[in-house]
Amino acid sequence: MSPTSFTVFRLGSLPDAAVLFRRAWWVGMLCLGSVAAAAELKAVKIGSRIDVTVGGDFFTSYRFSADEKYPFFFPVNGPSGASVTSMRNGKFPHHSSLFFGCDKVNGGNYWQEGNERGQILSAGAVIVTAAGPEIVISDVCRWQRPGAEAPIRDTRRIVISAPSAALRRIDFEITLEPLLAVTIEKTNHSLFSVRMDPDLTPAMGGTLINAAGVSGEKGTFGQPSPWLACYGPRGGGEMEGLAVLQHPGNRWATAAWFTRDYGFLSPTPMYWPADGVGTRLAQGEKVTLRYRVLVFAGDPAKADFARHYSDYAARTKP
């Protein structure tokens, strides 16, 4: 089976014994997850992607092909083995699972399709730590487009871990270095973003909720929040989903969120610039942004996103 393929069994189609076994497996996984040692992770570089496994199970690929608009993660598998994100579905071909990009940067578009409009090009991601309780990946990317000076170079540090059987974690740190004076006009297409698997979204009966306990696009759109989670039931009713935490030390913290009930979420400061017009960065000014992604299974109330955020916020160094 390829890393991007998976099978989801719906419990109603399984024999009774298999149903009971699978339910018992989930219960055992969730109970043992809090006390068991973290699983060993492994990373392997295959061409222009890095595949990461957790305890032998495929988790995610960091993809950095020169043909792509920007590097991104896909799939991002939950403990069930199915991806909690989706890839360029429907009328939004510029939503690539879990990614970082930005539109309207010195007249270029480093978000939507069309590499000639702007591209975030990796110099070639490197595996720093290939095996153990965590995987570390580094990457350096240049923002470029034909006929224009490159406005930004970014440096990325990605740390992937699995604290328990029911939880997987991606820590994403990116330092933006303007190579010349940069102006980012007001845009909703900016920075760290997620496109969820449709089955887990509010449009399909799932939940989108922020730290204040308000839910849905109507309640979360434009609201600053340290974290936001989206989750829903898989075929047998088990809950699975993803949460994004933005570090309080980020520039523009705590950023308001751009959300959609069809499954898009992003802390998007460039849509609400202080002057209502745009965001400016001086040449050589470095901006470091940090985000933590939690991929989880089980009762969302027991996932305790507030505690995870508190732990994350206490980390003043990457």
Q: For position 37, what pLDDT does the model report?
A: 57
Q: For position 33, what pLDDT does the model report?
A: 40
Q: State the residue range of the domain holding 72.
A: 11-313
Of the CA atoms within 13 Å of residue 45, those in its CB half-sphere come to 15
Q: Does the residue 104 lie in any domain?
A: yes
Q: For position 129, what pLDDT does the model report?
A: 98
- The pTM of the full predicted model, rounded to 2 decimals, is 0.87
Q: For position 113, what pLDDT does the model report?
A: 87
Question: What are the residue ranges in the chain where pLDDT is below 50?
Answer: 1-36
Nearest to 294 by CA among 162, 190, 198: 162
In the structure encoding, which two tokens stand for residue 184, read together? 């980012």
Q: Does the residue 303 lie in any domain?
A: yes
Q: For position 163, what pLDDT does the model report?
A: 96
- CB atoms inside a 10 Å sphere around CB 28: 11
Nearest to 120 by CA among 139, 97, 101: 101
Q: For position 235, what pLDDT does the model report?
A: 82
Q: Does the residue 5 lie in any domain?
A: no
Nearest to 81 by CA among 190, 165, 205, 173: 165
Outline where the chain has alpha helix (H).
16-33, 216-220, 300-303, 305-313
List, as one string, the DSSP characters of 289-315.
EEEEEEEEES-HHHH-HHHHHHHHHT-
Q: Does the residue 192 lie in any domain?
A: yes
Split into its structural domains, the chain has a count of: 1
Outline where 169-212 has alpha helix (H).
none
Q: Does the residue 1 lie in any domain?
A: no
- CB atoms inside a 10 Å sphere around CB 57: 12
**DSSP 8-state class, residue 64:** -
In the structure encoding, which two tokens stand for residue 65, read together? 């092909």
Q: Does the residue 6 lie in any domain?
A: no
**CATH code where residue 214 lies:** 2.70.98
Q: For position 14, what pLDDT does the model report?
A: 36
What is the Cα–Cα distance from 118 to 261, expressed in whole angstroms?
Answer: 28
Q: For position 38, what pLDDT does the model report?
A: 65
Q: Does the residue 287 lie in any domain?
A: yes
In the structure encoding, which two tokens stand for residue 286, read together? 């470095």
What is the Cα–Cα distance from 115 to 107, expressed in whole angstroms?
Answer: 14
Paired residues of 192 in beta bridges: 100
Q: Does the residue 3 lie in any domain?
A: no
Q: For position 141, what pLDDT does the model report?
A: 98
What is the Cα–Cα distance from 227 to 239, expressed in whole angstroms?
Answer: 18
